[in-house]
Structure 1
Amino acid sequence: MEKMLQVEIVTPDRLVLDEKADYVSATGIGGEFGVLPNHVPYLTALKIGSLYYKANGKNHYAFISGGFAEVSDNKVTILAESAELVEQIDLERAKKAKERAEKRLASKEDYDQSRAEIALQRAIIRISLKSSNGL
């Protein structure tokens, strides 16, 4: 019986993560889901959110900006529009993005409201991940 999962996070630009893990959790469109070794095949669209995985007794986190997750043969593949490991998140940049999005949402100008809401959501999740993991 397999005791580890292979976890890959791939964006159009790069391979963000390729590592063995004991457990993986992410935010699908139907809610949070978790994967242990020998999980049944599974496919879901992802919401903007976080990915958590446990490897070598340590907890690791990543930001995922939508995409898809596939679970098959003890491998979790995340195909994301964009992704960052928590260590790669620039906290100051995320705070500035949050401020810009809030200003756009408060403005009466003709901004694309849904784009501003998505930008705000991404910034809030990045800030939360970075702040809660003390990095």
Structure 2
Amino acid sequence: MFLEIVTPEAILFSSEIDSLSVPGVNGEFQMLNNHAPVVSNLKEGTVKIHIHSQSNIELDDLSGKLIPHEEDDKVLTLAISSGTLELNDNKAIILAD
């Protein structure tokens, strides 16, 4: 699945991922490849990006906003205050605040 995270300031993340967990308004939920199309509002919380490897991701370019999870280096986390998610055809876009 391909993920792009966009804020008013910049594109924070744009890469292939294995799965994605987001803080939906009705609770946290996870998406894997070939998930049904989804549009959802997001609340304050943590976006968890499960990646296969960090070898192709330059964390220095992300202004310190995406942080490797302390217990699993294949999970990146991003704190958001709110946002919107759209997932369709294995492409997820998060518009985050």
> When the two structures are superposed, what TM-score results if normalisation uses the length of structure 2?
0.75
**What are structure 2's unaligned runs of at least 5 residues?**
54-73
Between the aligned residues of both structures, percent identity stands at 38
RMSD: 0.9
8, 16, 21: which is aligned to 1:12?
8
- How far 1:10 moved relative to its partner? 0.3
31, 34, 44: which is aligned to 2:30?
34
Following the alignment from structure 2 to structure 1, what is the Cα–Cα distance between the partners of residues 81 and 91? 20
**After TM superposition, what 4+ stretches of structure 1 lie above 2 angstroms from structure 2?**
none
| 1:57-86 per-position Cα deviation (integer Å, ceiling 9, x unaligned) | 5111111120101111101110012xxxxx
Higher helix share: 1
Does 1 or 2 have the higher relative contact order (CA < 8 Å, sep 6+)?
A: 2
Q: Which has the larger Rg?
A: 1
The alignment covers a number of residue pairs equal to 77
> When the two structures are superposed, what TM-score results if normalisation uses the length of structure 1?
0.55
**What are structure 1's unaligned runs of at least 5 residues?**
82-135
In structure 2, the residue corresponding to 1:24 is in which secondary structure? strand
What residue identity is the alignment partner of 1:67? G
